[in-house]
């Protein structure tokens, strides 16, 4: 699966269309699901994942079960459309583990330019980290100030627009850390989106990824490369090409590596509902199975109109 089901962590999103940046929240569509899904249980080779959504399609709880007694539960609390609280609770041998459980709280100041504050605390009410996200008048993220026991780090974002190409340069404490370029390309008459992201360590290039998306927003190519400082060239490590069936689900992944190529085929069984979500995925030739159990919200019947 492209959208791999895994334990969820909050990350900062830099939207590629140039609009506002924000703390990421997850919705039904982020899990390759459609319709008014209430919950989804995913059975994997390492255990089970459970996801619960509200009627607006927002993730409200996720559970990663490694076995019957070891699991992690994450809760998401919203006020209107804003995420106010996120709690990660870990259980070992069936008992709550306070030492590894944390909570994140979010506050927004919109008196002038938008400013979002994230406080990460332990269950012993110790402040572990504080992050302040600062936005400009156009609601673009321009700075992150991170404070923890190691000190203070400042991340700055610079936005450049060249015709239909957007460039986002990111630096940490004055040194380049990441550069993202979003552009449009034409291929066989279809307009595609190309996203290149280059990473730096101590100001020096280290790795690069390239993603191509089709006109439906589906990933069609992903390429990873490492920088060889001795030759000052990029060496491709992995290149994947994705194909989709008429129903829009993944059908084939072709991988090119330095020492050989491979092909994976994806076969699905669907639940037959209006949403038509898949409930079993089979990947060949490995014959790896993933099963999903999906429940839906019942549509409330419309109240009959009173006679005039």
pTM of structure: 0.83
Burial of residue 48 (CB within 10 Å: 0-12, 13-18, 19+) is middle
Residue at 182 is within a domain:
yes
Q: Tens-digit pLDDT profile for the chain (308 aa)?
A: 443 333 333 333 333 333 334 567 899 999 999 999 999 999 987 789 999 999 999 999 999 999 989 999 999 999 988 899 999 999 999 999 999 999 999 999 877 788 999 999 999 999 999 999 999 988 899 999 999 999 999 999 999 999 889 999 999 999 999 999 999 999 888 999 999 999 999 989 999 999 999 999 999 999 999 999 999 999 999 999 999 998 889 999 999 998 889 999 999 999 999 999 999 999 999 999 999 999 999 976 554 554 54
- Is residue 65 assigned to a domain? no
Q: Token pair of 272, please? A: 């037959």
- Is residue 113 domain-resident? yes
Residue with tokens 């060949």: 284
Contact by Cβ (8 Å): 113, 123: no
How far is 294 from 49, CA to CA, in rounded Å? 12
| Count of domains for the chain | 1
180 part of a folded domain: yes
Tell me the backbone φ, ψ of residue 173, rounded to 5 degrees: 50, 40
What range does the domain containing 95 cover?
Answer: 76-275
Look at residue 162 and tell me if it is in a domain: yes
Q: Does residue 8 belong to any structural domain of this protein?
A: no
CA atoms of 36 and 15, how far apart (whole Å) = 25
| Residue 15 CA: distances (Å) to CA of 23, 24, 48, 168, 214 | 11, 10, 30, 10, 17
Give residue 170's pLDDT: 96
Give the DSSP H or E segment for 108.
Answer: strand 95-109
Q: What is the pLDDT of residue 300?
A: 65
- Is 300 a domain residue? no
- Residue 293, both tokens: 């159990």
CATH number of the structural domain spanning residue 90:
2.40.160
C-alpha span between 225 and 248 (Å, rounded): 28
Q: Which residue has the tokens 């037959």?
A: 272
Domain membership of residue 53 (yes or no) is no
3-state secondary structure (DSSP) of residue 174? coil
């Amino acid at each position: 699966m492209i959208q791999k089901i895994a334990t969820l962590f909050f990350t900062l999103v830099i939207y590629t269309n140039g609009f506002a940046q924000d703390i990421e929240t997850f919705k039904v569509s982020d899990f390759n699901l459609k319709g008014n899904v209430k919950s989804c249980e995913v059975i994997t080779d390492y255990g089970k994942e459970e996801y619960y959504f509200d009627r607006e399609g927002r993730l409200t709880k996720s559970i990663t079960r490694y076995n019957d007694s070891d699991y992690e539960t994450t809760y998401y609390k919203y006020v209107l459309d804003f995420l106010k609280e996120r709690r990660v609770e870990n259980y070992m041998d069936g008992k709550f583990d306070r030492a590894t459980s944390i909570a994140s709280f979010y506050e927004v100041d919109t008196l002038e330019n938008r400013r979002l504050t994230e406080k990460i605390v332990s269950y012993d009410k110790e402040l572990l980290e504080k992050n302040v996200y600062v936005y400009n008048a156009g609601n673009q993220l321009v700075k992150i100030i991170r404070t923890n026991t190691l000190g203070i780090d400042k991340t700055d974002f610079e936005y450049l627009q060249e015709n239909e190409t957007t460039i986002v340069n990111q630096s940490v404490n004055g040194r380049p850390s990441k550069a993202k370029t979003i552009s449009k390309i034409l291929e066989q008459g279809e307009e595609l989106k190309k996203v290149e992201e280059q990473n730096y360590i101590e100001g020096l290039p280290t790795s690069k990824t390239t993603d191509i998306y089709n006109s439906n927003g589906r990933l069609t190519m992903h390429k990873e490369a490492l920088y060889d400082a001795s030759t000052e060239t990029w060496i491709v490590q992995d290149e994947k090409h994705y194909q989709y069936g008429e129903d829009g689900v993944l059908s084939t992944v072709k991988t090119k590596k330095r020492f050989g190529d491979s092909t994976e085929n994806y076969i699905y069984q669907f639940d037959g509902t209006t949403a038509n979500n898949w409930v079993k995925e089979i990947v060949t030739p490995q014959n790896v199975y993933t099963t999903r159990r999906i429940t839906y919200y019942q549509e409330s019947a419309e109240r009959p109109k009173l006679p005039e």
